[in-house]
Structure 1
Amino acid sequence: LAILAQPDGAYRSLKMMQQCGILARILPAFGRITGRIQHDLFHVYTVDQHTLFLLRNLGQIWANETPQMPVANAAREQVEKPELLVLAGLFHDIGKGRGGDHSKIGAQEVRRFARRLQLSPRDTELIVWLVEQHLQMSGVSQRRDLEDPQVIRDFADLVQDERHLAHLLLLTVADMRATNPELWNDWKGLLLSTLYRATASELQREERQIRDLPQLIADKQHFVMGKITSMDQPRARALWQHLSGPYFLRYTEDELLWHCQEILAHKSRKTLVAVRPHEPEGSEILIYGSDRPGLFQQITGALDRQSLNIIDARIDTSEDGRAIDTFLVIDNSHAFAHSAQAHADLGAELRAIIEGETTSKPRFGPRHRDPRHRFFANIPAEIRVDNRALPRYTLLEVRATDQLGLLYQVGEALRALQLNIHGAKVSTFGERVEDTFFILNERGRKLTDAQAKALTQTLGNILNGKAA
């Protein structure tokens, strides 16, 4: 434990022990993952290499050798015994290659090891919990709507206290950064920070009761009213009376203010397309205009042609038939975010699509042409439809190799089945994407069992190239 108590030195010590074969003797389960290749699109290291790089990342966090998220520094102050975090990192993937859930297998292994070390029940419970839940924070941050209060309450119920939350954040950051050096970006860090702060606030409340949602909406509206002129306030109220409560819950006060200012300043009857920089990276696109079936895939096709990667989408329709859609996009060349002409060209194209003056046909085919991607390109897409994961929406999850036109194909399948997208999150892991959609049927309700089955089959046929 003395070696593990200094995270910045634990990596070097354990790496030397692994190279000499000592680590596998002390910990036979580690020997079973040594040299084990991970057959997926986002792990570029063997399991033992990935584990050691995770420990290296923990050491860098403690030594302040890499730029840190402010929340990571705050979380580090919550850690009294760094050796427990190092132990969790050492065991987090140790169950891989045995069949079954590697998180549960790892939790069993670390419990046995904790007994050998004679750890206290409290410390044992923490590291067992960390190993078993080590994938949860990345999953929730990238695949759930973090503006939904219920999502935050559910995650707070999972972590229970700030001690568990802080340890889980640090383990998650170190794990994600050790998976593939090209996968970590500021957007993923922002999502984790948002989830951490929201959950910490929820845990700090004296009474963990469901907050009065009408009051929460009223508070956001009051903030916006305080930032606009008295002449614009009646127009803002007129705009809001056609919007439902979930619209206000899914956006921050700053985002709602931006929407209101752009819409009220827009004098034309044609579609509004507004673009602004998004911190820490990317661009935020607001679209306000007449709604119609198939709009989502038309917009995604236009964005794809501009080589813009969509990482978040929120879709709303007002009672008077107006679409209020926002897309968060990243341009890997960073040219779009700094080009006023590119913004104007995209706005003109999107307006023409929404006004029905033209159609948008996306490009199809592989986004990457390197040998690694071609090797995995024929792996079938995985489709999961879940009615229990979210209180309001049916959850659709699509895992597939990264392809041009993928979002367009998903949108086309939903349009054909008369299903509506209300939100989307896109996570890219190298050549693999994990897309999450929040959907309702034509009656504004969760999908029936028959609709869920039809969606799974239709989408599987489209994405896996089978005849319908």
Structure 2
Amino acid sequence: MAQPYDNIPDRRVIVRRRKLEESLARLAEDMPPGGEPPRAPVLALLRDALTAGRAEIRRRFEEPGPLKNDGPAVLAATSYLMDQIIRVLFDFADQHAYPAANPSAAERLGLVATGGYGRGELAPLSDIDLLFLRPYKQTPRGEQIVEFMLYLLWDLGLKVGHATRTVEESLRYAERDQTIRTALLEARYLWGDRALFDELQRGFAQKFYIGDGRDFVDAKLAERDQRHHRMGDSRYVVEPNVKEGKGGLRDLHLLFWIAKYLYRVSEPGELVAKGVLTREEARHFERAERFFSTVRCHIHYLTNRADDRLSFDLQREIAARLGYQDRPGSRGVERFTKHYYLHAKTVGDLTRIFVAALEDSRRRKPKLAALWQTLRPRELEGFRLDGERLAVAAPDTFNRDPVAILRLFHVAQENDLDIHPATLRLITQNIRLVDRLRNDPEANRLFMEMLTSRHDPETTLRRLNEAGVFGRFVPDFGRVVAQTQHDMYHTYTVDEHTIRAIGILSKIESGVLKEDHPLSADVVHKILSRPVLYLAVLLHDIAKGRGGDHSVLGADVAMQLGPRLGLTAAETETVAWLVRYHLAMSGTAFQRDLMDPKTIETFAALIQSPERLRLLLVLTVCDIRAVGPNVWNNWKAALLRQLYGATEQVLSGGTLTGGRAERIKHIQGEISKQLPGWSETDKEEHFARGYASYWLSFPIDTLVRQAELVRGAERAKQPLAIEHRIDDARSVTEVTIYTLDTHGLFARLAGAMAISGANIVDAKIFTLANGMALDTFWIQDLEGKPFDGPQRLARLAARVELALSNRLDIQKELDSQRGSWPKRDRVFTVEPRVLIDNNASDTFTVIEVNGRDRPGFLHVVTRALTRLNLQIATAHVTTYGERAVDVFYVKDLFGLKVVNADKLKQISTTVEAAIRDFDTRFDPVAKAAE
């Protein structure tokens, strides 16, 4: 009987069974009659053979040669190695450890490989599934042989799934349990009594290879759906499971199990002859299986365990091993993960078309088949209705009318119908016809109607993408299909992110997300051109992965694509502008001081019109929401609302800078009204403490709370007063600290908060006229939620007090916590970068610091700024996955902007050096290896 490893070259270099048998036989010669078998020497011989065999297989896989990076060869070779070891072990147990001069018929024992091992596809460290077949009731000798083998296999460090059953029991269990039935479907004779295995095969065929297989197919589909749900129900997760994840190896196995069960095939290529797969689809099947198997082998070897998760720390290493090198504008690891997702998409296409076709073919009972053929199919705009699925009326429909490809999806969208799998396959086979449609006015009209439809455009775009039509019709979109970014910020591939963003836009417009985004849900209906907004959302990331600024490159794509899709010159220019500046609003809101009039004036000068402001707001919200499940929060929403309101005021003819003294006087008047228990003297004394910028930096209610805090501390002569307020609406905890202003105060406070597990997202620092500091921090926990809980807040206050009294060694505390930081964060390197802008504010120098985010990063940066004798007025902290972008508004010791060129250069080099030093302490091993 042919074995899956028959074509492995130089098999005997992996393991020599004859030599191993002879060595074991010599051990048996010293056994006294009826004595205990020599377990330790037997184990030593088998372990040496296993170790040497695995090393040889790995050498072939990793070193240059014909089998380098050949995953299927590793699976076959590992199966061969285990076969030989298990066979010699079986023979030793049967002939030497527990011999029988005349074994009875009841003592027959057959050994069967099941599951993946039965397929002959055993990953380096995967479990081994064995079935010990006996004729009927187990005999004491049979039990001894099975027990002897299993204990030795376990002692070898192997994970063995096993069962000891009769043929009848095996079939009975398979009838009840689909998992057992699937395992037997892939059963392979391994050793021992061959007649028992043949009997099992015959019994299985007679019992299960009958009928239409509906129960097996339904069970496997339900099992698949549960697995997908458990693994995240998306093939675009950032750390996919190569075996169990959606679009992974298990989905390929599922397809083959069903095919084998229904069509009696032994390999995917045979499905072509059966008419189940086309030759090209079979090639796709084999390529995907080879790719995933190879990746899985690398994971096992690199982790030294049966792990199937393609984690961040493995992606870069495996990409390099597979020959993916960095290119201009494209990192090797990103091209590797792109190929991973493309293969996963192919698997999804194959299983969806294949399984859905099987479901459909079995939907009608045979008795009704003839009757169905006599019924005239319902028609819908030139297509045939088959149940709730839309199908073509004839196989040559698309050849006669290529526009019908897009019309099919349009009709399905408008009538809330699915598309028949056979028709999807027909589209795949005729996908080149889409090339002719790019300049067809009708095709472009249909596409824009689908994009801007009020009937779930997200689902339609995803169908177009899954079918390969989207990327063919818009080649620029095709370039970002499965395009990944190797970081912890972007959860999805670029195409999936874009389609999700369209879905969010549709839900905002329909009112489904009105509670989450009340401002966007309001302004979206004031936008003059829906096509402009939808196309801008579609194209905002269209140029990622090309090198250069994707916003600039994307604007060029928009200028070319807009006229083709029927937009006017003015509309096209607006789309291009939105794509060019789609990051401007979030960058300003999250990284600039929104209470500084210059910030608003600069942003308003960029926007220029209320219509653009509305468009950019909605685009920004959709973009952020579609990045990942935990990226959007109320704090970001509040900042965007604040920026929108202030900019709208300027664009509507208002002013933010005029009447500064009058504005302060008005603010103080409003505060005075809310301090009823204060004397006029107390009020005047407090108003004299704050400089002009302070009164313009907070809302009235915050200024009132701070006034109460300051007066209470002054009356009680407290050296330190701390107040916190949980702001659920903005998903932050506001912490206000009143204490003596000292050099390096911000750095010590930032360190105390880092040690306490608090993440600072914004801060405003003020020195009052009495020499006291009034500092306000907005903090969250590490999950982006308000930092709350009485114990945590009390611990934070205690550490702040210790830090301010110099009784807390911040650096030592941070170093002691290093072991608890997420290890996968260390996979990424973010080159420190310091950008200095003297134009962003009229009164401050703005310093933007980029680096790898981790606890203590803000402390390190602010300590460096303090040592440079800079005064920090405000800090705005933003994180994008592993990247921190911290912006500081600073002045020199004399309260002026920093303008000296040498000083500016010193700031950059000093802060960057401090970050690099912290990076080395954070992960010294990784840094030493660079």
Q: State the TM-score, normalized to the length of structure 2.
A: 0.48
Q: CA deviation at 1:291?
A: 0.6
Distance 2:737 2:492 in 1: 41
Structure 1: give runs of 5+ residues left out of the alignment.
Answer: none
1:76 corresponds to which of 521, 524, 534: 524
2:467 corresponds to which of 20, 25, 28: 20
State the partner residue of 1:43.
490
Structure 1 residue matching 2:456: 3-state secondary structure: helix
2:905 corresponds to which of 441, 453, 466: 453
State the partner residue of 2:767.
317
In structure 2, relative to structure 1, the CA distance for the partners of 1:400 and 1:70 (3 Å cut) is same
Contact 1:308–1:331 (8 Å) recurs in 2? yes
Matches within 5 A, 1:417-432: 417-432=868-883
Q: Does 1:135 align with 2:567?
A: no
State the partner residue of 2:383.
none
Distance 1:380 1:322 in 2: 37
State the partner residue of 1:239.
686
Q: Does 1:392 align with 2:392?
A: no
In structure 2, relative to structure 1, the CA distance for the partners of 1:209 and 1:149 (3 Å cut) is closer
1:465 corresponds to which of 917, 924, 928: 917
1:103-152 CA distances to partner (integer Å, 9 max, x unpaired)? Answer: 11111111111122342233222211111110001101100111222212
State the partner residue of 2:753.
303
Distance 1:302 1:438 in 2: 21
Matches within 5 A, 1:189-268: 189-205=637-653, 210-229=657-676, 231-266=678-713, 267-268=715-716
Larger CA deviation: 86-95 vs 61-70: 61-70
Q: CA deviation at 1:77?
A: 1.8
Q: CA deviation at 1:175?
A: 0.4
In structure 2, relative to structure 1, the CA distance for the partners of 1:153 and 1:375 (3 Å cut) is same
Q: Does 1:162 align with 2:610?
A: yes
Q: Does 1:407 align with 2:855?
A: no
Distance 2:879 2:773 in 1: 27
Q: CA deviation at 1:163?
A: 1.3
One-letter code of the match for 1:12?
Answer: T
1:293 corresponds to which of 717, 734, 743: 743
1:261-281 CA distances to partner (integer Å, 9 max, x unpaired)? Answer: 221233222221111122422
Q: Does 1:274 align with 2:723?
A: yes
Structure number with larger C-alpha Rg = 2
One-letter code of the match for 2:698?
Answer: Y
Contact 1:367–1:402 (8 Å) recurs in 2? no
Contact 1:299–1:360 (8 Å) recurs in 2? no
Distance 1:73 1:37 in 2: 30
Q: CA deviation at 1:346?
A: 3.4
Contact 1:418–1:442 (8 Å) recurs in 2? yes
Contact 2:756–2:795 (8 Å) recurs in 1? no
Matches within 5 A, 1:163-182: 163-182=611-630
State the partner residue of 1:375.
827
Larger CA deviation: 128-137 vs 278-287: 278-287
RMSD: 2.2
Q: CA deviation at 1:379?
A: 3.0
State the partner residue of 1:111.
559
Distance 1:285 1:232 in 2: 27
Q: CA deviation at 1:219?
A: 1.4
Q: CA deviation at 1:7?
A: 5.4
In structure 2, relative to structure 1, the CA distance for the partners of 1:155 and 1:415 (3 Å cut) is same
Q: CA deviation at 1:318?
A: 1.8
State the partner residue of 1:93.
541
Structure 2 residue matching 1:181: 3-state secondary structure: coil
Higher helix share: 2
Distance 1:268 1:230 in 2: 17
Contact 2:555–2:577 (8 Å) recurs in 1? yes
Contact 1:282–1:330 (8 Å) recurs in 2? yes
In structure 2, relative to structure 1, the CA distance for the partners of 1:289 and 1:436 (3 Å cut) is same
Distance 2:869 2:627 in 1: 38
Q: CA deviation at 1:338?
A: 3.9
Contact 1:7–1:55 (8 Å) recurs in 2? no
Structure 2: give runs of 5+ residues left out of the alignment.
Answer: 1-447, 921-930
One-letter code of the match for 2:849?
Answer: V
Contact 1:366–1:404 (8 Å) recurs in 2? no
Distance 1:422 1:309 in 2: 19
One-letter code of the match for 1:300?
Answer: A
1:281-309 CA distances to partner (integer Å, 9 max, x unpaired)? Answer: 22111111211111111111111222111
Contact 1:272–1:351 (8 Å) recurs in 2? no
Q: Does 1:361 align with 2:810?
A: yes
Contact 2:739–2:774 (8 Å) recurs in 1? yes
Q: CA deviation at 1:8?
A: 5.2
Larger CA deviation: 411-420 vs 327-336: 327-336
Contact 2:756–2:799 (8 Å) recurs in 1? no
1:407-429 CA distances to partner (integer Å, 9 max, x unpaired)? Answer: 11112111211111111011122
In structure 2, relative to structure 1, the CA distance for the partners of 1:43 and 1:335 (3 Å cut) is closer
Contact 1:34–1:48 (8 Å) recurs in 2? yes
One-letter code of the match for 1:102?
Answer: H
One-letter code of the match for 2:739?
Answer: G
Distance 2:602 2:681 in 1: 37
Q: Which of the pair has the greater relative contact order for Cα pairs under 8 Å at 6+ separation?
A: 1
Distance 2:789 2:774 in 1: 24
In structure 2, relative to structure 1, the CA distance for the partners of 1:346 and 1:19 (3 Å cut) is closer
Q: CA deviation at 1:453?
A: 0.9
Structure 2 residue matching 1:337: 3-state secondary structure: coil
In structure 2, relative to structure 1, the CA distance for the partners of 1:104 and 1:336 (3 Å cut) is closer
Distance 2:766 2:547 in 1: 42
Contact 2:764–2:777 (8 Å) recurs in 1? yes
State the partner residue of 1:151.
599
Distance 2:757 2:788 in 1: 12
Structure 2 residue matching 1:397: 3-state secondary structure: strand
In structure 2, relative to structure 1, the CA distance for the partners of 1:330 and 1:150 (3 Å cut) is same
Distance 1:295 1:61 in 2: 44
Q: CA deviation at 1:348?
A: 4.3
Percentage identity across paired residues of the two chains: 31
One-letter code of the match for 1:34?
Answer: V
One-letter code of the match for 2:465?
Answer: Q
1:310-342 CA distances to partner (integer Å, 9 max, x unpaired)? Answer: 111100112331111001111247685242x54
State the partner residue of 2:449.
2
Distance 1:366 1:382 in 2: 26
Q: CA deviation at 1:231?
A: 3.5
In structure 2, relative to structure 1, the CA distance for the partners of 1:62 and 1:368 (3 Å cut) is farther
Structure 1 residue matching 2:611: 3-state secondary structure: helix
The alignment of Structure 1 onto Structure 2 pairs a total of residues equal to 462
Distance 1:29 1:316 in 2: 50
In structure 2, relative to structure 1, the CA distance for the partners of 1:420 and 1:208 (3 Å cut) is closer
